[in-house]
Amino acid sequence: MPNNYRVFGGTANPDLVRDICEYLGAAPGQIKVQRFSDGETFVRIEENVRGADVFLVQPTCTPVNDSLFELLIMIDAFKRASAHRITSVIPYYGYARQDRKDRPRVPITAKLVADLLGRAGTHRVMTMDLHASQIQGFFDVPHDHLYASRVAIDYLKQQDYEALTIISPDAGGVERARAYAKRLGADLGIIDKRRPSENVAEVMNVIGDVAGRTCLVVDDIVDTAGTLANTAQVLRDRGAMRVLAFATHAVLSGPAISRINESPLERLIVTNTIPLPPEKRSSKIKVLSVASVFGEAIKRTHEESSITSLFA
């Protein structure tokens, strides 16, 4: 690769930044991020980036507001340092679950964050497994939507699960689950559920035959794990032989870990779009790295070559 590109990272996921740079054979860019005593964020770029093709890696994960505003401040700093192009690489795009106005007097935060990124000065955005595909249309700058399925399916094929059924945890995830089922040669099942309030879901029915099957629940996010634990229990009650799950983004807030450990779920496979601190680790959780996907996307974007093959 030419030398006029730089990969910088915020404080949200430094391990992923390091792994991406290792894939690219490049050193992470030098940047200083610190907090004033009142909580304000200070950023200083510690190398010349005039005319450079800059990639900022920062998932907007916990603490969500701090991570988001840190990214906005970094974008502004690089804009004022005369970077040629600024690409915001956001492995986990926070606020994505509020993607439509489904009730009176509620915001559409997925669009608000997209607007903030554009106004801050980013020229391009790169994300992975958005909560809803329509969010791609919220950006007024070019947007690349990558998928964790590349690394997930490679891993799942190595496990050689027998009598595999891919389970969509709700109607909105059927397209994702069908794509996994097609590539793994598996059957498809769907959970019919209702959500009486935020972070609360009730399983109403299971569509498809799961008796005697290895069921793999596929989702984009696992947050409090209440839905996942309930789904695993219902599938076992319906005769499933084994229940596993894959979720790209391991938010794992509140009682998530205890729910996972106490549930009949055998294994939860996640990626490193969000870092897992020690208190969020479990013997049931397997973490896959998506550094190669982002690294290859960054490489091809800088070289102005196609990244279509990374969308599958």
Active site residues: 193
The pair of three-digit structure tokens given for residue 247, joined into one six-digit string: 């979720």
Quote the CA–CA distance of 252 and 64 in Å, as a whole number. Answer: 13
Sequence-distant (≥ 6) Cβ neighbours of residue 196 within 8 angstroms: 202
The half-sphere exposure of 286 on its side-chain side, counting CA atoms within 13 A, is 14
Nearest one of 216, 221, 147 to 186, comparing CA atoms: 216
Structure-block tokens of residue 204? 């109403």
Task: Work out whether the CA dihedral 303, 83, 111, 196 comes out positive or negative.
Answer: positive
- Alpha-carbon span 223 to 251, nearest angstrom: 5
CA distance 44 to 33: 7
